[in-house]
Structure formats: structure tokens, C-alpha cells
A and B are shown apart, each in its own frame.
Chain A
């Protein structure tokens, strides 16, 4: 069986290697599984994921002209929702891959669509809940102008409030480095000493700016930082200004860390290092896990060629031995998820696991069972981190 697979690949100036790392992760896992000859890849670039017309045309071309069995679209939920009818009608598999920073418009799945993600909104929701459960009821919420434009921002606050928390202050910093300013946050914290924790949402260079700017404020106010997964991403230390990061009282739930002690993680880190002479990261993990899902897709299409709905059913009933520990696809939503770890950052950005939430089934069910926000809202249109 040769699985004809189209890939709609993104690009990012914030994380320039995003596409290549994902592809490397995918290829390394296929090689590890001995499936390199079972898949024919056809790759197209879709930029930041904002040009819907281009994405639609490329997906349609892959289906109608390249006759692929499956399209992997590295894009956010909005793009997946646009493409779903096309894939349902042609009974082809759409595997949407992203960071899970956005909610879908609905958790109701389309019959031939699966979403594989890093579940960032889920992890920020857990972090918000955790903060309130640990007694940090009154918090200030501080976000970067970019990162606040995704559902994970809502998820973190929602998780906190569901657990009895109260947001006492909302602070948004501008996008430009020159305008980055925690002044209003500092003024609030010094005037409200009963607020002793922050819910924080930044990524990339703004995360580094934030950590630098919050350091003197933390020294003065002793606030604890509950942070989003990208603020505990190991690649921060390789970014300009990242190598000298010093953190204090910083923690958050994350899907993965390179030092997780699990055989599948050891294999993943080793394979990436050996094949590409690079450190494994979240992007290569997304690619690696995508290949794990493709292994099941190959099996399903071999037994029932051309039947994506059958492949989805088989993929939903399979457990995957992921570098995260385990990975499964929720049959009720067709979204993947795995365990979650509460990670704490020490002074020199050394990360340690404080707590492992191994069984996330009930939390996931609760998260996806929440009523999605309705009414007017605004958000960025590009795929998260593809900026």
C-alpha cells in the first residue's frame, strides 16, 4: 500500500524552521517505523495560513488532480472548517495539524476529519484551573498583543474562573518591542498586594521580553507566574536574549518536554538528533506524532481502500505510543490529546516536572464539554506561531 499524502505546510518568521522541523519529525518517524516506502509525500506551502483561497485551491488540486488519499493541513481550525465539506464529499482524510491554540467553532467532528494538536488551549485551561485550586483566586492576567488573539487566552481565564478564580486586572502589551511595557501591571500589583499571581500568555521574542521585564516586578511583589506552554518551550533559550533568561516561581501545564523519561521519547529525541543533528522540539514532535497516526491510516486504507470514514474510525480506536507518553484521538471530537505535565522553571531556565496528569480523560471531556463562547469576538487569522 502506497499512501498518497499531500501536505499543506506553513512558514513562520517567528519560528523560521517550523515547516522543516515538522517535516523532519514526520520523516524521522516514518523511517523509525520502517514506513518510508509506504508513503508518497506531495508538499505545498501555504504561508501563514491566511490566504484561504490559495489553501482551498491547493487542497482541491491535491484531491482532484493528485488523487491523494489524505491531506495533512498544518493550519488552524478555521481553515479545517472551510475544507471539511470538500473532504467529506470526496471521502478523503483531512488531518489538520496545529498547536491547539484555537477552539474549533464546534467540537462536533466531520466524518473524515481528524485534528492533531499540542492542545495548547487545553493546557492553558488546566493551568488556569490549577492556579485557582492552589489558592491563587485573585489574579492579574497579562498577555502579549499577538498571543491574546487566540482561544487559549479565553481558555486560561475560563479554567481559572471555573475553579473559583477572579480576574482582577487585564493587561495587554503592544506588539512592537519598543512599545513593550509592563508599567500598568506594575502599578496594579503594587497597589493591590492581595493579588499575588499572574496568568501569562506570551511566545517567542515577547516571552523573553516579558521574563526580562517581570524580573524586577517579581522581586518587588513576589508574584507567582502561571504561564502558557510556549513560555516553557526549550527553544526560548536559543533565541536572541534567551540564553540569559532567569526565572522564578514560574509554572504551567505542558504537553511535552525533551527530558521526559519514556522509551518513545528517548527514541524520538535520539532519531531527530541522529538524522538531523538538531534538538527535538515541539515542531518535530508534531511531525513525529503525525507519522504515528499515518501508520494507522496506512493499515486502514490497505484493508479498505478509498474509505476515509473507516480510516478515521480505526484511528480513533487506536492508542499511540507517543513521546508524550500516550496519545489518543477522542471519538467524540476527532481531536488528539495526551497526558499533561505541570512544569516548573528554575532560575536558569532548567525545567522540571512538578506533577504529571497522566489520566486526562475526564479533564478533556470537561474541557470539550464547556459551552464555547458565542457572540462577537476577534482573533488573528494566521495559524498560531506562523507569523
Chain B
């Protein structure tokens, strides 16, 4: 196997930028493949690649495979790197570079396969998240693992915060991968344990909707965090009115006896918007999202909501 490393990088999300920088710094990028509709990423990479040999090529779902195969041939790419990419790659494309394709999955494998691992790690109350780099096969996130770097998930971690942490870990993983590709005669990888595998699809409405009747305070906080900022908020209903909860935290306050979960027990500027939960905790809904904008939770009072009403 040649140790010449020239990568063709398929990416769609700024989370990949720190990892990309590692390869760009050492002039190891032949070309970038970006979804045509993602202008933000195209502009960002155009700026980053100024003065380098790296080419920027845009594709859509229909032409991604032939265009990428042609780019590998034309620019002499020896390895493919995928860092969040929405399109399926054909077997012919996966087999094209001499060193194959490596995927940067911003979640832990095999237990968190699928396109939105950051959301699911937080939503599932996982204590750890991480980045997994693995050789790609024809399955989704199923190839043998080269390296996994873990980070703890805390109750303060929003989707955005965890994404930043994992972007930073991605840079470390990329730096190490570059060494392995450059120095080794093999790419070391361990098959995934299929007995521990789980696939999580794109979140649906029910996955981002708070159920005060069944969810504990911590579960609600995690769900709210998992939605912040990409979904603006987790959804909740006050009567027929849909509101969003963007930020929530424990309130150090005694629960009110014989009060149904979801009851707004305080709603004023001093105490904020405090809601009782099924596990007899009090949640402060510190930021809410309405069609009119983002507000402190207690501003619900300005929209006619009263203490004692139920959020379901």
C-alpha cells in the first residue's frame, strides 16, 4: 500500500472544520466534495483553501458518485474521508481510493449509529459521547473502528456545546489518523460488536416533545439541551398553544404536595417560570421560544398564562 496521503474530503457541517485543518495544514487534501445546496460550507472552505492545491467540488444526490470517482482519478486522491455527509456512497466509489474511505462519526459506535448521534447521546441520558473514526463499508456506520475518543456528557451540555467539544476531539483524531495513514503498512481497525449496535434515525416530532406526565426533571433538561440550538427548543403544550423550551434547569425549591406534574407553580420575575415534575422536582424554564421570539420563561405571563396552569 502506498503511503502517499492525499485525501478527498466529503463534508457538510462546520463540525468537521478542526479535523479538516489538520489535513490542510500538512497539504494532504486533494479535493473537497460538498453538497451543492450547502453554500455556507462552500464559502467557508473556499476561504480556508486559498493558496493551497485543494479543489472544491459541489455535488447533489444524483451525481455524487460519478463526480467523486472522477475527482479521485483526476486529483490522485489515495484516501476518502467522510465528515458528516448526507448522500449514500456507492460500492464502486468506496473501493476507489487505494486506502479506502474513513468516516468521522461524531458519536460512539456501535451503540449510536445514524445521522444525529449528538442529539441522541444527550437525549438518551448517556454519560459519554465521543468521536469514532472507522473504515467505511456498505452499511451505515458499520465499518471496523480505527479509533474512538470519548468525552463525558454533563447536564450542562447542550447540543451546541457537545458539538464544539467533539469538533475539538475530531482534530485530535484527524491528527492521529494522518500519522497512521502516513506511517503504517496497514490501517488498524477492530470490527464493531454487533450485539451492542443500535441505530437512531433523524429525530421526529415525538422525540423533541416534552411529556411532563411521564418524564423526570433530568430527562426533560436533557431533551431541552439536545434541541438547543439546532431545533431552537423542545416542544411543549399549554392548552392548545405550542411553546418551545430552549433552556431549563433544576430550581432549588421544594415541590408542592398533591400537585400534578406539569403544573406551573410560580410565574413571576423573581422566581421565574417554575414547573413541577413527576419526580417531585421543580424545573425552572429559563428560556422559552415562541413565534414572537426568545424570552425569559416568566414572560409567559405577558401572554396570558397564569400560575397553576398545566404544561403538558
Which of B147, B151, B184 is A56 in contact with, Cβ under 8 Å?
A: B184
User: From residue A373, how far is it (CB to closest CB) to chain B in Å?
Assistant: 12
Q: How many A-B residue pairs have CB under 8 A?
A: 47
Is the CB of A366 closer than 8 A to any CB of chain B?
no
**A85-93, A146-154, A267-275 - the one binding chain B:** A85-93
**B32-40, B76-84, B174-182, B287-295 - the one binding chain A:** B174-182
Is the CB of B149 closer than 8 A to any CB of chain A?
yes
- Report A-chain residues with C-beta under 8 Å of the C-beta of B149: 106, 108
- Report B-chain residues with C-beta under 8 Å of the C-beta of A86: 180, 184, 188
| Known contacts A82-B176, A106-B150, A56 near B183 by CB under 8 Å | yes
Which positions 52-101 of chain A face chain B at CB distance < 8 Å?
52-53, 56-57, 60, 64, 81-82, 84-86, 88-90
Q: Interface range on chain B: under 10, 10 to 19, 20 to 34, or 35 or more?
A: 10 to 19
Complex Cα distance A108/B188, Å?
Answer: 19
User: From residue A197, how far is it (CB to closest CB) to chain B in Å?
Assistant: 35
| Known contacts A85-B147, A86-B188, A89-B189, A105 near B172 by CB under 8 Å | yes
Is the CB of A374 closer than 8 A to any CB of chain B?
yes
Q: Is the CB of B190 within 8 A of A89?
A: yes
Chain B residue nearest in CB terms to A108: B150
Which of A60, A85, A89, A374 is B176 in contact with, Cβ under 8 Å?
A: A85
- Report B-chain residues with C-beta under 8 Å of the C-beta of A81: 172, 176
| Known contacts A105-B172, A106-B150, A82 near B180 by CB under 8 Å | yes
Is the CB of B168 closer than 8 A to any CB of chain A?
yes
Q: Interface range on chain A: under 10, 10 to 19, 20 to 34, or 35 or more?
A: 10 to 19
Chain B residue nearest in CB terms to A105: B172
The main secondary structure of chain B at its interface with chain A is: mixed
Q: Is the CB of B189 within 8 A of A60?
A: no
Chain B residue nearest in CB terms to A375: B168
- Report B-chain residues with C-beta under 8 Å of the C-beta of A374: 168
Which of A52, A88, A90, A105 is B183 in contact with, Cβ under 8 Å?
A: A52
Q: Is the CB of A60 within 8 A of B185?
A: yes
Is the CB of B146 closer than 8 A to any CB of chain A?
yes
| Known contacts A85-B146, A105-B172, A106-B149, A56 near B179 by CB under 8 Å | yes
Which positions 361-382 of chain A face chain B at CB distance < 8 Å?
374
Complex Cα distance A90/B146, Å?
Answer: 11
Complex Cα distance A81/B176, Å?
Answer: 7
Complex Cα distance A90/B189, Å?
Answer: 8
Which positions 179-219 of chain B face chain A at CB distance < 8 Å?
179-180, 182-186, 188-190
Complex Cα distance A105/B188, Å?
Answer: 20
Which of B179, B183, B188 is A89 in contact with, Cβ under 8 Å?
A: B188
- Report A-chain residues with C-beta under 8 Å of the C-beta of B150: 106, 108
- Report B-chain residues with C-beta under 8 Å of the C-beta of A88: 147, 188, 190
Top-10 shortest CB links A-B: A89-B188, A56-B183, A85-B147, A86-B188, A108-B150, A53-B183, A85-B188, A82-B179, A89-B190, A85-B146
Chain B interface residues (CB < 8 Å from chain A): 146-147, 149-151, 168-169, 172, 176, 179-180, 182-186, 188-190
Chain A interface residues (CB < 8 Å from chain B): 52-53, 56-57, 60, 64, 81-82, 84-86, 88-90, 105-106, 108, 374
